[in-house]
Structure 1
Amino acid sequence: MSPLAARLSDLAADVLFTAVRVTEVTNLTTKFVKVTLGCDAFTRANWTPGDKLQLRPRRGSLAMRAYTPINWNPDEGSTDLIAYRHGEGPAARWFDNAVAGVDAEIFGPSKSLDLSDTVTHTVFAGDETSIGLACALRQFNSNATFLYEAHEPAELSNVLAASGIDADSHILRRSADHSELLDHIFEAAAIGRTGASVDIVVTGEAATVNAVRRGLKARPDLAARIKARAYWASGRTGLS
């Protein structure tokens, strides 16, 4: 990016973004970190579990990465994010270097997935990038069943336990065809069902989201409503 374009990006960011400060950093595991952000504007913000914050990880660019806050404290003007540190992108490096006292720039909160109307019988499917949304869903629906795909199941198991959301959670090793995940989703959706509707919340890899959508079309008997959001796709960046 040219110096002029970088300067214009910074000028636009000064108008569009909210300045926040990192107040606490907790390493949950070797790859997952929880970061607490605070600012006065958060005391006035309207937040619903499932909303997102978009982080601007570096100056000179308007590129953003989206994260789902796991909670919101309007009295203190603070919120917590859980990040999965992987790859070499600017967001991963920002979380690697985050320490208390560092400033950051945030856009939001803004709408992403509304979890406030999920039914009692809800099945959640996600991966390492879905921890924030899983925490948010538990605030509304403690009866949901949680399923995950993971490259390293033991690592994900540890962060779920550290976050206090390991109950009713099942972790599967990631598979390219997603067949095992689909079998578990359909089984969980059918258990105890007596004609009531089922909500399926699926986030994470775009290929997983698409596989679940296709699979549910073949199971009209489940009467499932899907809430879906792709966070990433192989070979692409910037999904949210």
Structure 2
Amino acid sequence: MPKVPKWMADAMQSLFSGMYHPVQVTATEELEERLRRVRFEGDFSGSKRAFVPGNVIEFRVSDTEFRHYTPSYFDPKAGVCEVLFYLHGKGPGSKWVADLKVGETLNLLGPGGKIGYNASSQNHIAFGDETSLGSFACIEAEAKQQRHSFYSIAELDKENKHWPKALQLETTVVEKDKEMKAIETIRYLDGYLANYSREKASTTFYLTGNAKSISGVKKFLISRGFESKQIRTEPYWSEGKTGL
């Protein structure tokens, strides 16, 4: 639901008012030139759905547009949510994030989405790009708490390859190929899975970020004997679309 007429956006916000949570921006931090962490605080006690690491939240970023984001940290009891925003500068979402100020009051919708941490699995592997780093952080923290294994692979532009280190994320970085989506990740996974010693049946994959990259990695994983039910996907963006 990236863009709708203003009258429809107003009607939806009124219709789903019970799912919105008023929050206040309590901190912003410029981690890198295009990477910003924002802290939101509010009352999430009335949420109809419990937050699970990997879930998305949603904000109305203009009169006519909404955007989904994945928290890097979410504590409903404490009323705290943090999001790592990638400011790519290509749409209203980036402008909205860049303009956020401490003290500003907003409405947060969620949590929801297609991905949630699979507590029944012992092993967790995440794949994504710059837009996925917050999801990595949230899932990794949950895996550590559950004493499960976690591994992540980030497909990043060359100038952003240092971001996981700056975020203290233990992530394998592969360089993004703009023409052949996920090709370098698939090459890496081919070797990684050939020596994979953990139980395949107790492994869950979380694929986020670019839609074409997700499709390529999922097809590869299925060709290596993993089942579709083990592969959880949520595209965050796609070429030719202004937002997802």
Gaps of 5+ in 1: none
Q: Distance in 1 between matches of 2:219 and 2:197?
A: 21
1:76 alignment partner, SS class: coil
- Aligned-residue offset at 1:162: 3.3
Distance 2:120 2:190 in 1: 17
Deviation at 1:7, TM superposition (A): 5.0
Q: Root-mean-square deviation (CA), in Å?
A: 2.3
The farther-off stretch of 31-40 and 103-112 is 103-112
Matched with 1:185 is 189
Q: Secondary structure at the match of 2:75?
A: coil
Q: Which runs of 5+ in 2 are unaligned?
A: none
Aligned residues between the structures: 227
> Are positions 1:215 and 2:238 aligned together?
no
Q: How does 1:1-240 map to 2 (within 5 A)?
A: 6-7=6-7, 9-16=9-16, 17-40=20-43, 42-45=44-47, 46-58=50-62, 60-61=63-64, 63-117=65-119, 119-142=121-144, 143-152=149-158, 154-158=159-163, 160-165=164-169, 167=170, 169-175=171-177, 176-177=179-180, 178-193=182-197, 196-197=200-201, 198-220=203-225, 225-239=230-244
* In 1, Cα distance between equivalents of 2:192 and 2:9: 47
User: How far apart, CA to CA, are the structure 2 residues paired with 1:29 and 1:132?
Assistant: 14
- Give the superposition deviation at 1:54: 0.5
Give the conservation status (yes or no) of the 8 Å contact 2:51–2:76: no
* Cα-to-partner distance string for 1:80-105 (whole Å, 9 max, x where unaligned): 01110013311100111111011222
Identity of aligned residues (%): 22
Give the deviation of 1:29 after TM superposition: 0.6
CA distance in 1, matches of 2:231, 2:29: 33
Shift of 1:64: 1.3
How far is the alpha carbon of 1:14 from its aligned partner? 4.2
Tell me the amino acid that sits aligned with residue 241 of structure 2.
R
**CA deviation string 1:174-230 (max 9, x = no partner):** 11323221021233334342654233221111110111122223222x568211111
Native 8 Å contact 1:52 1:110 kept in 2: yes
Letter in 1 for 2:6: A
Q: TM-score, normalised by structure 2?
A: 0.83
Q: CA deviation at 1:138?
A: 0.5
Deviation at 1:30, TM superposition (A): 0.6
Q: With structure 1 as the length reference, what TM-score do the two structures score?
A: 0.84
User: Deviations along 1:27-82, whole A, 9 cap, x unmatched?
Assistant: 11111101111112x24432111111011112x22x21111112222343111011
